Structure 1
Amino acid sequence: MRFIRNFFRKLKYKIRFLGKNNQKLVNYFVSSNITNKKLTELMNYYGSDKGGVNKDHNFSDYYSEIFFHKKNDEIILLEVGLGSNNLTIPSNMGADGSPLASLRAWRDYFKNGKIYGADIDKNILKNEERIKTYFVDQREQESINNLFKNINEKKFDIIIDDGLHEYSANICLLENSFKYLNSKGIYIIEDVFFKDKNKFLNYLNKKNYNFSIIDIYHEYNISNNCLITIYK
């Protein structure tokens, strides 16, 4: 039965993207290969799973489209979930993972930005040039409150949840972080599983958020190559 379910799920997934070539990965035309190339190269160089080199995700193509006009701005960015390689921690990157990889890519892409990161794995936390990292357990409201108190920034331009890929944890972080997003900021939840989409859809509609659920075509990943973007 599981094989049959997976077969039809994969078939439905491919039908959804029928007719889309490599320039239409996110339901709109990519404006320029040059535009997309820089951030993807950085993500792959540092070992992040956002760039496609490890065949997990290809989010950097989409990010290049929405952030290209901001790359020289004084962006304040927070990413939760830094790529733990501790196999005992849920949603880890595996033993060969590269902690802080995406933070380094964001730092190089946003040359005038402040880059903050947070993770539950204290062993991977460290500060580098224009990168500061903090502890957070995104399942706990108090821990999230302490995170923002410790960072001591009033507002953020970009907040990315790439931490624990569980619906309840994502909602906990959203509910306690969204108020720190500036009026033109963007909040992103990565790696949304197929099984959780309707939960998010119902919740976000009920709360009257301005959001999009974005499926990005991926040849190898049909389970969670999906983002939710939320704007104020």
Structure 2
Amino acid sequence: MQPSFLQIYFQILFSYKSKRINSFYVNSSEEKSIKNSIIDLNKTFQILIEDASHSYKDQIISLFMLFPLVNSGGFFITEELDFPDTRDDMNLNKERPTLREILNYIKSGKDFNNSLITKQQKRLFNSKH
């Protein structure tokens, strides 16, 4: 079985077609768009690359909604992970914790809270990683 691969774009830069790579245009600012465009496909992926808007909110929502679709031993890659920490236009209200900070908390075994993440999403994420 060939591994499945998902690439998510905020803007359609090009149209690439492949049997192994699925590219999606998703409004990553809207959970409904993520659900309707990807989650409702009922597929899992070996590699998922989130290359969407890079904003604070969108990065967090994308990871916690889509991580359950990554196969055990697979990879979830977030492009420009540092943007909400380093670019004012990607985190206008300077909200915390950013996705990079959340991932560092998880890596070090520390708990975290974020209003964008439900308890169920947090539990699912912690059980899969």
TM-score by length of 2: 0.62
Equivalent-residue separation in structure 1 for 2:103 and 2:81 (angstroms): 14
Q: Is the 8 A contact 1:170 1:189 kept in 2?
A: yes
After superposition, the Cα gap between the structure-2 partners of 1:144 and 1:193, relative to the gap in structure 1 and judged at 3 Å, is same
Aligned to 2:94: none
1:139-184 deviation per Cα after TM superposition (whole angstroms, max 9, x unaligned) = 122221112344331x110000111121211111101000011111
Identity over aligned residues, as a percent?
A: 26
RMSD: 2.8
Aligned length: 100
TM-score by length of 1: 0.37
Q: Which runs of 5+ in 2 are unaligned?
A: 87-96, 109-127
Q: Are 2:28 and 1:79 aligned?
A: no
Aligned to 1:147: 37
Which ranges of 4 or more aligned residues in structure 1 deviate by more than 6 Å? none
RCO greater where, 1 or 2, for CA within 8 Å and sep 6 or more?
A: 2
Moved more, 173-182 or 159-168: 159-168
Aligned to 2:58: 169
Matches within 5 A, 1:1-232: 74-81=2-9, 83-84=11-12, 98-100=13-15, 103=16, 107=18, 114-119=20-25, 136-153=26-43, 155-193=44-82, 196=85, 199-206=98-105, 208=106, 232=129
Equivalent-residue separation in structure 2 for 1:201 and 1:150 (angstroms): 27
Q: Is the 8 A contact 2:7 2:24 kept in 1?
A: yes
Q: Which runs of 5+ in 1 are unaligned?
A: 1-72, 85-97, 108-112, 120-135, 211-230
Equivalent-residue separation in structure 2 for 1:99 and 1:78 (angstroms): 15
Q: Is the 8 A contact 2:54 2:80 kept in 1?
A: yes
Q: Is the 8 A contact 1:82 1:117 kept in 2?
A: no
**Structure 2 SS opposite 1:168:** helix
Answer with 1 or 2: which has the greater Rg.
1
